[in-house]
Structure 1
Amino acid sequence: MDGTVVVTGGSRGIGAAVVRALAARGTPVCFSYATHREAAEAVVAQAEELGTTAVAVRADVAEEADVRRLFAAADRLGPLAGLVNNAGQVAAQSPVVDLEPARIRRLLDVNVLGAFLCAQEAVRRLVPAGGGTVVNVSSRAAVLGGAGEYVDYAASKAAVDALTVGLAREVGPAGVRVVGVRPGLIRTDIHAGAGEPGRVERLAPTVPLGRGGEADEVAEAVVWLLSEAASYVTGTTLDVSGGR
């Protein structure tokens, strides 16, 4: 990739794996983090050990000013080549009837509004440049529904899927591709954040491949979608879920 890639939520989990995978290919990365400063600094160090430049910016993707600051930092690294819309959150498992409005609003602000705000900033740069790629990180929950666990999260990721299709059709004529990945049961901290750190192990028998996935496996799919190898892929979302 000829240029800088912005990765949101790059301090842990899938986001950190994407930063490392890009760094291994010599791509400069500017990534955001919300609260885990030490983890972000560790990812920067890992990227530098791999021989490329990485910059961590503390930013809430649901805040327009923070998003603008993130992309301004990326601009200082060079022309933008792509965006990985990865930042997201999930709350404790709960049936829909017990979901608090404040929880739903915050989740939609981060997972949906944040994806839109970042996509806007990326498109403002990529369209005039005549090309580039936006990769939206969704979830298989968008298809499966998250019943009894986090329907609000599933709904937010379904909105991200719609963003992928709609934006791809808007900016395709300008040479900009918009694609997505839907991770399935991946071993990251997100499950602990939802109150069940052992969720992957509990549900692994339901996966046709018989195991949970790793963040690095998702990252490889993201890097492929960003690359010229996927030059005729847009407006679609790739499941990285072991068949579940």
Structure 2
Amino acid sequence: MSDSVFIVTGGSRGIGASVSRKLGIPGQTVVVNYTANKAAADAVVAEIEQQGGKAVAVQGDVGSEADILRLFEEADKHGGLAGLVNNAGVVDVSQRVDEMSVERLNRIFTINVVGSFLCAREAVKRMSTKHGGQGGSIVNLASAGSKLGSPAQYVDYAASKGAIDTMTVGLALEVADEGIRVNAVRPGIIDTELHASGGLPDRVAQVQSKLPMKRAGTADEVADAIIWLMSDQSSYTTGAILDVSGGRAILP
């Protein structure tokens, strides 16, 4: 994966930051996308540069097509695109479906689903041999919630990640003979800032005793799976959705 450009959406925190750091080795350029926290994105870039890699922070909301187009145009300045990690996503406060507003639903699905589709569209345009590209890899961030439903908490988020499951399989088959592999990871309870953004900062502590492994996962554990799917070590793997959930996603 040398001398190539990789885009990580939502790359300034949590799983995205860990993926960015792991991709940021000598000979590779990582485009660290962020929505608002420039300081956090700049810190990730600095870490990558300290370990001999190249990186650039690019602001952009994946809920905006204009921002996505600008993100990819900025990436184009640094070389040929070799990979996309569709990591950016949001949750909202815990609610039942009968409490959800249309504004909430539009936000969840615009960012989590439409944004992932548009980023994948732009990546395919650049990487597909049909368009003159050299091939590449796309890894989407799904969720164990797509199998569990997240009742009374985030049914909308779970449903948006169910769409990512379907997108992963369909797009993988669509571009399988164009040099692009498309896969996904399906994290379970991971100790990141996402829980606080959904109004449950103590969620990990509250649920970890009920998890099969009695602990939450880490961002690095999910990132390692993503890096494998991005690499040539998984060269015959496409359309796969890898559970990184400590067994949670297989509970009845």
Q: When the two structures are superposed, what TM-score results if normalisation uses the length of structure 1? A: 0.97
What stretches of structure 1 of length at least 5 have no aligned partner? none
Determine helix, strand or coil for the equivalent of 1:204.
helix
- The aligned residue for residue 41 of structure 2 is 40
Percent of aligned pairs sharing the same letter: 52
Residues in 1 aligned to 2:195 and 2:176: alpha-carbon distance in whole angstroms: 35
Amino acid of the structure 2 residue aligned with 1:211: R
Residues in 1 aligned to 2:194 and 2:220: alpha-carbon distance in whole angstroms: 15
**Count of residues in Structure 1 that have an aligned counterpart in Structure 2:** 244
**1:219 equivalent among 223, 237, 240:** 223
CA displacement 1:156-187 (0-9 Å, x = unmatched): 00001111000001000112100000111101
CA apart distance, 1:26? 4.7
| Aligned counterparts, 1:9-20, within 5 A | 9-20=10-21
CA apart distance, 1:63? 1.3
1:64 and 2:65 are equivalent in the alignment: yes
Cα contact 2:26–2:54 (8 A) shared by 1: no
- The aligned residue for residue 78 of structure 1 is 79
Cα contact 2:25–2:54 (8 A) shared by 1: no
- The aligned residue for residue 95 of structure 2 is 94
CA apart distance, 1:215? 0.3
CA apart distance, 1:236? 1.4
1:154 and 2:158 are equivalent in the alignment: yes
For the structure 1 residues 150 and 130, does the alpha-carbon distance in structure 2 shift closer, same or farther, using more than 3 Å as the test?
A: same
Residues in 1 aligned to 2:9 and 2:105: alpha-carbon distance in whole angstroms: 21
CA displacement 1:112-133 (0-9 Å, x = unmatched): 0000000000000110324110
CA apart distance, 1:7? 0.4
- The aligned residue for residue 147 of structure 2 is 143
Determine helix, strand or coil for the equivalent of 2:44.
helix
CA displacement 1:192-220 (0-9 Å, x = unmatched): 11111111121112222221010011111
Residues in 2 aligned to 1:21 and 1:130: alpha-carbon distance in whole angstroms: 22
Residues in 1 aligned to 2:158 and 2:143: alpha-carbon distance in whole angstroms: 7
- The aligned residue for residue 235 of structure 2 is 231
Cα contact 2:94–2:152 (8 A) shared by 1: yes
Cα contact 2:31–2:57 (8 A) shared by 1: yes
1:206 and 2:210 are equivalent in the alignment: yes
Cα contact 1:8–1:32 (8 A) shared by 2: yes
Residues in 2 aligned to 1:138 and 1:181: alpha-carbon distance in whole angstroms: 6
Cα contact 1:143–1:158 (8 A) shared by 2: yes
For the structure 1 residues 25 and 148, does the alpha-carbon distance in structure 2 shift closer, same or farther, using more than 3 Å as the test?
A: farther
Cα contact 1:7–1:29 (8 A) shared by 2: yes
Residues in 2 aligned to 1:134 and 1:155: alpha-carbon distance in whole angstroms: 21
Residues in 2 aligned to 1:144 and 1:224: alpha-carbon distance in whole angstroms: 25
- The aligned residue for residue 179 of structure 1 is 183
Amino acid of the structure 2 residue aligned with 1:117: L
What stretches of structure 2 of length at least 5 have no aligned partner? none
CA apart distance, 1:37? 1.1
Residues in 2 aligned to 1:50 and 1:95: alpha-carbon distance in whole angstroms: 45
Q: When the two structures are superposed, what TM-score results if normalisation uses the length of structure 2? A: 0.94
Cα contact 1:62–1:117 (8 A) shared by 2: no
